[in-house]
Amino acid sequence: MIHKRGKFYGYDFHHKGRRYRGSTGQSKRSKAQEFHDDLYEKIRRQWKGLAEVGNREIDCREIFEMYLEMKKYEWAESTWKSHDWDIRADFMPHFGGTPVIALTKSMVNKFIAKQRSRNIKGSTINLKLGRLRAILNWAVAQELTAANPMRFEKVREAEKKEPIILDAELEQIYMGGSDFFPAFNEMVFIGRHTGLRVGNIALLTWSQLNLAEREKASITIRAERMKGRRTISLPLIEEVVDRLREINKMRRLHSDYVFSKKDGKPYTTNHVTNVFTRICQSFGMEYTFHHLRHTFASYYIINGGDLYILAKLLGHKTLTQVERYAHLNIEHLRKAVKNSPRTKITIPTKQ
């Protein structure tokens, strides 16, 4: 099925219990229908190819290639590219020609040792191991192998707390930002007060914003811009609404992007991230733009916020991703308990 989504037609169909949807990149219905039909046939052939693999011995390289092909139409582009990078840069060189049934824990340990020799953080290694596990579980589900031959534990790492950007440090960043492009400080402000990822801010459009009523203002992030492939709508605080309205008043270009260059094109995510990191380093701070998201989440919990609501505000499907902030709530409650009234009554003891 195809349907009009703004300028281009979108596709939306199911095959083998899976849903495939996205943009055709075509503005003409006939071309969009042709794209839809070609894509459906390609996916149908891929599933047929999986069935034909049968019980023959299959190596990891084939599994990796098939996994990427199947997921290409299910995930957001950024998510797919991230997996593609891990598979081609790390998994294929290490596991590529090995038959799936021949994988051993020893091979995984050697992979971990190699990652550690490159000074890769434990959290990053665990992310890669999780992706490898997901690929092998997928292979089992597709009956490409009898069972996941690997059972491995996560790499242990020291528990760390995400750093919070203090207001004084934020003022320094604003001061340094004035020397770069005009929209930089506005993007930082919105990142600090919404918790949005840098990509969502850099590519933010006016059509995503509802600023008509100050108290009911909101922002909508479309599924293709979300890691979880779900469209979400988030409320905006009044300070952000006022700032966005001011930006709208000074609009000179006929560009739908909230933050655009002189030619109307948006700033790239890499450019914004690099400028932010460079400014922080100039003041002796080791922050990235993503720390604005952690700062938003941390202050939300410190001020008595709820983890379930925080997960919704950050666009997470489960509480797992926000559990790291739970200690902030406990510390906040501990201070409240210490300030609670004390009784002077003593508890009698038995003689």
Reply yes or no on whether the pLDDT at 239 is more than 80.
yes
Token pair of 35 as six digits? 């794209």
pLDDT, residue 51, reads: 46
Between 338 and 310, the higher pLDDT residue: 310
Reply yes or no on whether the pLDDT at 161 is more than 70.
no
Reply yes or no on whether the pLDDT at 158 is more than 70.
no
Mean pLDDT of the chain: 81
| Architecture per CATH, 57-160 | Orthogonal Bundle (1.10)
pLDDT, residue 139, reads: 82
Reply yes or no on whether the pLDDT at 25 is more than 70.
yes
Reply yes or no on whether the pLDDT at 227 is more than 60.
yes
Between 6 and 63, the higher pLDDT residue: 63
- Highest average pLDDT, of 56-60, 193-197, 230-234, 314-318, comes from 193-197
Helix axes 307-314 and 290-302, enclosed angle (nearest 10): 160
pLDDT, residue 172, reads: 92
* Three state DSSP letters for 140-152: HHCCCCCCCCCCC
Reply yes or no on whether the pLDDT at 89 is more than 90.
yes
Element (H, E) at 235: strand 232-235
Per the document, the length of the chain is 351
**Contact in structure between 208 and 221 (CB atoms under 8 Å):** yes
C-alpha neighbours within 13 Å on the C-beta side of residue 1:
9
Task: Name the least confident of 32-36, 161-165, 214-218.
Answer: 161-165
What string of DSSP letters covers 266-282?
A: BPPHHHHHHHHHHHHHH
Q: Which residues of 235-253 are buried (b: 16+ CB within 10 A; e: fewer)?
A: ebeeebbebbeeeeeeeee
Mean pLDDT to the nearest integer, 129-150: 79
Reply yes or no on whether the pLDDT at 150 is more than 60.
yes
pLDDT, residue 149, reads: 63
* Three state DSSP letters for 129-174: HHHHHHHHHHHHHCCCCCCCCCCCCCCCCCCCCCCCCCHHHHHHHH
The domains of the chain are located at 1-53, 57-160, 167-336
Reply yes or no on whether the pLDDT at 127 is more than 80.
yes
Q: Which long-range contacts (CB under 8 A, 24 or more apart) does 287-294 make?
A: 287/163, 287/165, 287/169, 289/188, 289/191, 289/198, 290/197, 290/198, 291/162, 291/163, 291/164, 291/165, 292/165, 292/188, 292/191, 292/192, 292/195, 293/191, 293/195, 293/196, 293/197, 294/162, 294/163, 294/164
pLDDT band, very low/low/confident/very high, at 291 (cuts 50, 70, 90): very high
Task: Name the least confident of 3-12, 77-86, 87-96, 111-120.
Answer: 3-12
pLDDT, residue 189, reads: 93
pLDDT band, very low/low/confident/very high, at 55 (cuts 50, 70, 90): very low
pLDDT, residue 344, reads: 53
Please check whether the two domains, 57-160 and 167-336, share a CATH topology: no
**Number of Cβ within a 10 Å radius of residue 98:** 14
Task: Name the least confident of 9-23, 49-63, 289-303.
Answer: 49-63
| Tens digits of residue pLDDT in 184-225 | 999 999 999 999 999 999 999 999 999 888 888 888 888 666
Between 252 and 281, the higher pLDDT residue: 281
Between 6 and 267, the higher pLDDT residue: 267
pLDDT band, very low/low/confident/very high, at 328 (cuts 50, 70, 90): low
Between 24 and 284, the higher pLDDT residue: 284
pLDDT, residue 202, reads: 92
Q: What is 167-336's CATH topology?
A: hpI Integrase; Chain A (1.10.443)
Q: How far is CA 193 from CA 147, 201, 292, in A?
A: 46, 12, 8
Please tell me whether the overall predicted TM-score, pTM, comes out greater than 0.85 for this model: no
Between 325 and 113, the higher pLDDT residue: 113
Q: How far is CA 53 from CA 41, 98, 143, in A?
A: 19, 17, 9
pLDDT, residue 94, reads: 92
Task: Name the least confident of 127-141, 213-227, 300-314.
Answer: 213-227
